[in-house]
Amino acid sequence: MSKELVFGHQSPDTDAIVAAKAYSYLQNKLGYDTEAVALGEPNEETQFVLNYFDEPTPRVITKASDEVDSVMLVDHNEHQQSVSDIEDVTVTHVVDHHRIANFSTSSPLFYRAEPVGCTSTILMKMFDEYKIEIPAQLAGLMLSAIISDTLLLKSPTTTDDDKAAVIALAEIADVDYKTYGLEELKAGTNLSSKSEAE
């Protein structure tokens, strides 16, 4: 099996970065050869999360077809939100929680979407289904993605699945999600205030 890249959307948020790491980890456990990359630099919130859980910043790419033939998308599916040369590679897998639009393939693929608050919530279920254990550090990252996408379970897109995932992941990561979550969201807000000030 040849190597595939896994990535979230352009202008990545925490879910786009983290879901790529989580899905790449899962797929490698299942026998694929993947690398999680990003389509842009992490924002301040995501950088806080990566620092907090001592996780390296993913490599940023702008093209995929010079490295691989096939890719896996997380947290997006629309071509205009994806890598610039998305039309030149084969999409073999998608895990997402958005509407489907401006997306098509010439072959059957693995596609997993659910109308929940965060891609990492779906990934949490997939780890369960495949009976793959989530390491504590990765659980911390996935928890952070759900906190980010659901604004600490307060956004109208929040579902019971997101709540259950947050509780389970906080347990594995051994963090108090409420205290940690406020810190994380504050780290993201710093960016907005700075941008406003600039």
Which residues in this chain contact a second copy in the complex, by CB under 8 A? 97-115, 129
Q: Which structure tokens are listed for 167? A: 């509780």
Distance, in Å, from the CA atom of 133 to the CA atom of 147, rounded to the nearest integer, reads 21
Q: What are phi and psi of 56, to 5 degrees?
A: -65, 150
Min separation Cβ 131 and a second copy, Å: 11
Which residue, 60 or 100, is less far from a second copy as judged by CB?
100
What is the DSSP code (8-state) at residue 38?
Answer: B
Q: If contact means CB under 5 to 8 A according to the sort of partner, which of Mn ion, a second copy, none does residue 107 touch?
A: a second copy
Q: If contact means CB under 5 to 8 A according to the sort of partner, which of Mn ion, a second copy, none does residue 149 touch?
A: Mn ion
Min separation Cβ 157 and a second copy, Å: 8
Which residue, 123 or 187, is less far from a second copy as judged by CB?
123
Q: If contact means CB under 5 to 8 A according to the sort of partner, which of a second copy, Mn ion, none does residue 109 touch?
A: a second copy
Report the number of secondary-structure helices (H) and strands (E) in the chain: 6, 5
| Cα angle: 177, vertex 7, 53; to 5 degrees | 30
Query: Among candidates 73, 75, 63, which has minimal Cα distance to 109?
Result: 73
Min separation Cβ 105 and a second copy, Å: 5
Min separation Cβ 190 and Mn ion, Å: 19
